[in-house]
Structure 1
């Protein structure tokens, strides 16, 4: 298991590489070029700039999260081939820089949905919160204005430029079904996976967050059966999944431990985070500690350990604690605590020995 930490880049993150260096066990930076628009080919000089910054502190840049997929690809438009070609060229450049995994998603319009970025928990910390009744009844434009209006940091997937044509996007998706989305994903994967195989880069699709349709938009990376189908669209070890315990865990019917066991050989990258799910469908981010939420964090880590997981992993969204001013969900303190919790579980699993008579008497 190789531990990573998501970093948004110099001048775009409250957390510095110097601070990340002081978290035990972190080997790689999970990064992206956040100023690039979906569909653009990434410039080599910008990629190498991040590489140089990371290597100065002894980090690799093995995982990119994300190279965003243009909406024309998701919609299956004739213009998609141009954007797929740009994606291929970006894959080739990232390979030359040493990248091993690209995390991406295939969610229409929105990368993720929350209704509150700073919902207060019982302990006084704040966290990302999803209120089901509000999503069921709110105008998506109103939600966009609330989430995107963050004065200090743009939110990934909610960049103003990306959402300025929201009404046109919703119109474009009218009539697009889940089956259409599967076929558009197949076309995309058939185009890029041969390039990934040639350049030794694994694609790892991120589950939909949350894993159900929102605002009438189809979503397909939602459960064990659908992930299995995606992996078979192009049956290659380079077509993998970013198994995110928080995204999938917001639906209590998803068995995360079973997913780890079934897809172990196709998980090059994992997000491990905890959430508390309420009976009415609301959920909130919590600490990574298993007892604080609904997700079986210990069971998930045990499944990874038992299946010899040697991919990349990172703590996902953290609470905002100790009055830290940071990008919502991406502060230093709670994610660092999460890393130490995950490594503590992992280390303890590595030390467990079979119970024998000799071990008992000694």
Structure 2
């Protein structure tokens, strides 16, 4: 397992590279060019700047999260081929820079949905929270105000996407899940050969949460959808970002079993915990198994027993010790999460050597 850490770039992250360097065995940055809108071609010079900065601080840039997919591709509009051509050339440029994995998603409109960015927990910490009843009764525009009130950019909630929110929702009125699957297959059939040539593994992220929100179609939600995805294009470059927290928001998803079944198709792992309540609400907790509803101990064991040598990162953390940070992406709880994951891994490694 190769531990990496998501970083949003200079001037756009409360966490510094110096701080990340002090977390044991974090070897790479998970990065993106967050100021670029979906669909544009990534400039070579910007990629090289990020590579130089990372390597200067002792990190590799093997994992990009994300190269966002333009909405026209998801909708299957005639304009999609232009955006797919840009995507293919961006893949080539990233491959030349040494990138090994590109995480992406195929979620309509919103990349993720929460109703409270700083829900207070019993111990005084705060965390991202999803309240079913609020989503059922809220106007999407009101949710946008909640999510974008932070001083940091919020991936998946980019201004250029949200300023035309009503039009985008209207465009999806007659789009079914099967339509979305067909559009995803069209996209993958176009880009996977390019990814193979570039030495890059494409790794789709599950829907977050893994069920329909605001009536929008969602297709990456469970074991059957993961199986269908890897079968769309038979290639080692067609893979998964298996996110234990996203899939774990549905208690029916057995995450350790999914890791075991799809181990050969997972170049990138997001490992985090969520506590799911009987009414379907959920809140993001510490990574510790006992604090949430996901068997993180079993998840790490499944990765270890499968001989996983891909990239992993602690995903969203709580906001603790008064830290002011991007929601879900502070330093302290993610660093604690890394040490918990390493502790589990080391214990399984020691046991296997007896």
TM bin (shorter chain): over 0.9
Contiguous gaps of at least 5 residues in structure 1? 356-362
The two structures have a TM-score, normalised by structure 2, of: 0.99
For the aligned residue pairs, the C-alpha RMSD in angstroms reads 0.8
Contiguous gaps of at least 5 residues in structure 2? none
What is the count of residue pairs matched by the alignment? 354
Q: For 2:129, what is the secondary structure of its paired residue?
A: strand
Larger Rg: 1
Counterpart in the other structure of 1:326 = 325
Counterpart in the other structure of 1:43 = 43
Q: For 1:291, what is the secondary structure of its paired residue?
A: helix
Q: For 1:352, what is the secondary structure of its paired residue?
A: helix
Measured in 2, the distance between the counterparts of 1:34 and 1:185 equals: 23
Q: CA deviation at 1:343?
A: 0.5
Q: Please show how residues 1-362 of structure 1 align to structure 2 within 5 Å.
A: 1-150=1-150, 152-353=151-352
Measured in 1, the distance between the counterparts of 2:110 and 2:189 equals: 24
Q: CA deviation at 1:162?
A: 1.6
Any conservation in 1 of the 2:37–2:158 contact (CA below 8 Å)? no
Measured in 2, the distance between the counterparts of 1:185 and 1:73 equals: 8
Q: CA deviation at 1:80?
A: 0.3
Measured in 2, the distance between the counterparts of 1:275 and 1:174 equals: 31
Q: For 1:325, what is the secondary structure of its paired residue?
A: coil
Q: CA deviation at 1:353?
A: 4.3
Structure 1's consecutive aligned runs of 4 or more residues displaced over 2 angstroms after TM superposition are: none
Q: CA deviation at 1:170?
A: 0.5
Q: CA deviation at 1:34?
A: 0.2
1:130-159 Cα distance to aligned partner (Å, 9 max, x none):
001001111111111111122x10211112
Measured in 1, the distance between the counterparts of 2:353 and 2:266 equals: 28
Measured in 1, the distance between the counterparts of 2:41 and 2:245 equals: 30
Q: For 2:203, what is the secondary structure of its paired residue?
A: strand
